[in-house]
Structure 1
Amino acid sequence: MGKRDKVDGDRLEFIPPQMPTLVEQPPQDEGWVHEAWLDGYRTQIIIDKGGVRLYSKNGRDWTTKYWPIALALELPCRAAILDGEVIVSGEQGTPDSPVLEAAIWNEPSRLVFVAFDILHLDGRNLAPWPLLQRKQALRRLVEPGVRKIQYSEHFECGALAILRAIEKAGLDGIISKRADSPYRSGPSKTWLKARYLRKPISNLRGW
């Protein structure tokens, strides 16, 4: 068991995130699952003997900025590393990026963490597992419902149909992931993101 897998010894370490590649169209062949592209801040949660810590995608400790999420975190595990995004839910229930930074400083109670992957659980390194197995482990850990820690649902049907549905909901696009892929830090061709042209890419956050 490596240093990263220790539960009762050293604290778990931040893992650089896997980053999706921007594409014009989502993949249409089989073997992919699709999730909503949330317009938030990519965040990693680490739970271990030392408590709860939240990190930005660059490895900066943002626990004090996201303190309501840290205080609300009660999961049935001793140690875990979760990958996801911090968002602010808008009036229609969709992520509201323009008010995210303001909420961090002025209304942190509105912050929500949406978990879409799990890399470690109680001494087990889950990064080599296929994506769908990791999602199953994450789904058992994060209870459904509207709360501070939410689970990012995935879909296995046609990507274009999902893209149209997500567009109607006011989201930015979809993230497509190979169902059988392990988690690997850095730029990835097994994670793809397809956005809409209604806003310039410079305005897209999170990813």
Structure 2
Amino acid sequence: MGNGKPRLRFIKPMEPVQVAEPPVSDDWLHEIKYDGFRTQLVLDWAGARAFSRHGHDWSKRYWPAIQAAEMLPASSFIIDGEMTALDADGRPNFHAMHSRIRWNAELLTYVTFDLLYLDGEDLRALPLVERKARLWKLVKPADGIIQYSVHVEGNGADFFAAVDKMGLEGMVSKRRESLYRGGKTEAWVKAKCWDIGEFELLGIRREPGRPPVALMARDGKYAGGAMINANLSIKERLWRRVEEARAKQPAGVPTAVVDGVEWVRPGIVARVKTLRGEAKLRHASMLDFREG
């Protein structure tokens, strides 16, 4: 304690649930889903510090954001946002995060999207639109390390189409009147965009009563599994190819996924639909294949 006051404490973040399509009614706000590390900036009488999604103190890693936070016109606050690595065109580049954290933390950008506490007042019981209005007043002009997540109201389908066209990971939709409650909530939802790309087919797992799964690699490294949602003629052609190209288990595949897999020799390239921005295949489906 200092000055007789306790320090502000980390608050469990509010987490969106994933949905297939964004909401379309007018009582939702829509923001770009920034691909980075969820971060909470806290300022009190002893200075600023940064917490990870799970409450770990990452202040030393994010020291430039800490310095910027202490310049904001407030004596205390708790800000929710995403620590990102933005390219020159403003797009989040998750692959650049680790190198910037280690070597160039001044090139990180903290994109703010909520304000939980300000100058002695707990704001979590206020509607989101009011919290964001106060956040903007705190961080404007928001053109340095600390920036502001601009939103649009309504027109979720159009916003999603624009996000997809820009090649971004997805979007987050939030009810205008939502209060801030830690943990998973249906008052915030996220919709992710899809990519279609080519992967190397490693093998097939066929189990009674379950859809067949194709195990994939990219650049020689295991990338995960994809449901085989191709039409019947493609499936039959694939089964024949698997029978002709049986092989031993390749290196680098996790032991948890190898049971019952029919491995194939290299040379089959699959076209796969998967969620954008994921390190491994997620909710993926194999659409077709060709000889590599």
Q: Same fold (TM over 0.5)?
A: yes
Q: 1:35 aligns with which of 31, 37, 59?
A: 31
- Per-residue deviation at 1:23? 0.3
Question: What is the correspondence of 1:180-199 to structure 2 with a 5 Å cutoff?
Answer: 180-198=177-195, 199=274
- Percent of residue pairs identical: 38
Runs of at least 5 residues in structure 2 that lack an aligned partner in the other structure: 196-273, 281-292
Q: Give the structure, 1 or 2, with the largest relative contact order (CA under 8 Å, sep 6 or more).
A: 1
Gaps of 5+ in 1: 1-6
Q: Which one is further off, 162-171 or 190-199? A: 162-171
Give the Cα separation in 2 of the matches to 1:92 and 1:145: 17
2:115 equivalent to 1:123? no
**Amino acid in the other structure paired with 1:62:** W
Are the counterparts in 2 of residues 20 and 188 from structure 1 also a CA contact under 8 Å? yes
The structure with more radius of gyration: 2
Tell me by how many angstroms 1:146 deviates. 2.3
Structure that is richer in strand per residue: 2
Q: Which residue of 2 aligns with 1:134?
A: 131
Deviation at 1:106, TM superposition (A): 1.5
With normalisation by structure 1, the TM-score equals 0.91
How many pairs does the alignment contain? Answer: 199
Partner of 2:164: 167
Q: Secondary structure at the match of 2:153?
A: coil
Deviation at 1:102, TM superposition (A): 1.3
- Tell me by how many angstroms 1:167 deviates: 1.9
Which of 91, 100, 106 aligns to 1:103? It is: 100
Q: Could you list the per-position Cα deviations for residues 41-79 of structure 1 after superposition, in whole angstroms to 9, with x for gaps in the alignment?
A: 000000000100000000000000001111122111100
Shift of 1:171: 1.4
After TM superposition, list the pairs within 5 Å mapping 1:1-207 onto structure 2: 9-73=5-69, 74-198=71-195, 199-200=274-275, 202-203=278-279
Q: State the Cα distance separating 1:144 from its structure 2 match.
A: 2.2
Note the alpha carbon deviations across 1:146-182, whole angstroms, 9 max, x for none.
Answer: 2010011110030111111122222111100000110
RMSD over aligned CA atoms reads 1.7
